[in-house]
Amino acid sequence: MPVLTSLSGNEIYCLNLKGIEPGDLVIGNSVFSLGVIGSVGSGLKMLAGGEVGNITSIIHEGRLNSYARMHEEARKHGGVGITGVTSELLLHGSSVEFLSIGSCVHQRGMARGTEQMAFSSSASGQELYCQMDAGYRPVKFVFGNVAYSIGIAGGVLGGFQQMARGEVTQYSDVFSQTRHLAVERISAEARAAGANSVVGIETSIIPFRGIQEMVMIGTASYHPALPAEYASHPATSDLTNHENWNLVRMGYLPVRLVLGVSIYSLGIIGGIMSSIKSLARGEIDELTSLIYEARESAISKMMKDAADSGADDVAGIKTYVYDLGNGMIEFMAIGTAVKFFPGVTTASESLPCQAIIEDKDTFINTAESAYGADVSNSTSTNKRRRVGKNKGPVTLWDIIKIVLKVAGG
């Protein structure tokens, strides 16, 4: 029977260099209904702000169910591992589908049916080559998630602070806590799997039932050069696998994903002044200084995380600015703290060109489907996640509408 794989030609070539051959595409799904009690309970929890624990649990369970079914399908197909694993969340009216997709791979030279499933990975075939050549042994696809809201309490207190220019600490605390929770949870999954690192972490912020979910996915891996302490506190990295390969070639290993978050308000007076100045051409000093201060605050928090990890440098720093409305902005800085380890290097002197060629999409549909469905809510085996646009704080009216809608059926 022919092999049906989602791996591209470039991926197949790269994996072949490591003695790995393509296997069949595998899929697992799970469809959930939140239910009236869960939704009303979540609405009440949203009044307090912070993590909405029961929604986090429901999403976590749904993602785990879909992954487990995909893994079982892969086991039946036979293979040594699964690569390119995704974890999608799709809305179908009042229900939510959790969908996991990946591709089985086989070890060259092993008879079909005799292989034991040894690993699963979020990495594509090209990325997996980079990981393995950098000395990492893939262990398991892992994720960390948290569903959260700003809440009414934070909104009221934050509202008073919005009257004055500067950081809105209530909002900063909620956003910072949720982002760190996701890191802690993906690290905990890696530790439970017997790994000492999580590499290739990708982050998404997804709107869900009037709140937001932050989810991080990556590959729990083992690197023999990391000290024993990382078995209990796995290293985490959001460097791409290609970036990571380059640093490992120079003797550096990632030790910690670091981030800083600051929420700043322009204040009433600042808002009035910037509105007046926006009528004329030229720099708006109030906004310039506000964004600069928010950036400096977020980066200083990130650098504290890096210093606590004993890192030598922070690589791959990315910054994001979101307009939260009402004269508030979020500034987030995220990067990977790295440390030099003598003797660490890669197996190959350079990456093959097939490992860095970007695969081109050959099927593009920008129209609506024949049934009127929005194709933007579709999924594909080669979709990659990145940090999304923040939709802003949840208001009391948002919560009331959710609770009334669910209670009324």
Q: What angle do CA 278, 280, 284 make, to 5 degrees?
A: 45
For all residues of the chain together, what is the average pLDDT? 80
pLDDT in tens, 86-142: 999 888 777 889 999 999 999 998 887 778 899 999 999 999 999 999 999 999 999
On whether the CB atoms of residues 163 and 73 are closer than 8 A, the answer is no
Q: Say if residue 37's pLDDT is above 80.
A: no
Burial of 200 (0-12, 13-18, 19+ CB in 10 A): buried
**pLDDT at position 52:** 82
Residue 107: Cβ within 10 Å count: 16
pLDDT in tens, 168-189: 777 777 778 878 899 999 999 9
Q: How far is CA 57 from CA 34, 51, 146, 395, in A?
A: 11, 11, 9, 23
* 43 vs 88: which has the higher pLDDT: 88
Cβ neighbours for 252, distance < 8 A, ≥ 6 positions apart:
312, 313, 315, 338, 339, 340, 341, 344
Nearest to 179, CA basis, from 338, 395, 331: 331
**pLDDT at position 281:** 55
- Rounded distance, CA 409 to CA 406, Å? 5
Nearest to 147, CA basis, from 177, 122, 169, 168: 177
Q: Say if residue 392's pLDDT is above 50.
A: no
Tokens of 130: 């980079």
Cβ neighbours for 100, distance < 8 A, ≥ 6 positions apart:
27, 28, 29, 63, 66, 67, 69, 70, 85, 86, 87, 88
**pLDDT at position 43:** 54
In this prediction, residue 343 has a pLDDT band, given cuts at 50, 70 and 90, of very high
3-state secondary structure the chain: CCCCCCCCHHHHHHHHHCCEEEEEEEEEEEEEECCHHHHHHHHHHHCCCEECHHHHHHHHHHHHHHHHHHHHHHHHHCCCEEEEEEEEEEEECCEEEEEEEEEEEEECCCCCCCCCCCEECCCCHHHHHHHHHCCCEEEEEEEEEEEEECHHHHHHHHHHHHCCCEECHHHHHHHHHHHHHHHHHHHHHHHHCCCCEEEEEEEEEEEECCEEEEEEEEEEEECCCCCHHHHCCCEECCCCHHHHHHHHHCCEEEEEEEEEEEEEECCHHHHHHHHHHCCCCCCCHHHHHHHHHHHHHHHHHHHHHHHHCCCCEEEEEEEEEEEEECCEEEEEEEEEEEEECCCCCCCCCCCCHHHHCCCCCCCCCCCCCCCCCCHHHCCCCCCCCCCCCCCCCCCHHHHHHHHHHHHCC
* 327 vs 231: which has the higher pLDDT: 231
| Cα of 228 vs its chain's centroid, Å | 26
On whether the CB atoms of residues 29 and 95 are closer than 8 A, the answer is no
On whether the CB atoms of residues 143 and 213 are closer than 8 A, the answer is no
Tokens of 44: 């009440």
- Rounded distance, CA 91 to CA 98, Å? 9
* 2 vs 22: which has the higher pLDDT: 22
User: Of the given ranges (30-44, 279-293, 367-381, 382-396), which has the lowest mean pLDDT?
Assistant: 382-396
On whether the CB atoms of residues 80 and 117 are closer than 8 A, the answer is yes
In this prediction, residue 39 has a pLDDT band, given cuts at 50, 70 and 90, of low
pTM: 0.81
Where b means 16+ CB within 10 Å and e means fewer, 174-187 reads bbbebbebbbebbb
**pLDDT at position 167:** 74
pLDDT in tens, 291-332: 778 888 888 888 988 999 899 999 999 988 877 666 677 788
**pLDDT at position 35:** 64
HSE, CB side, 13 Å, CA atoms: give it for residue 386.
7
* 226 vs 110: which has the higher pLDDT: 226
* 396 vs 301: which has the higher pLDDT: 301
Residue whose token pair is 């980079």: 130
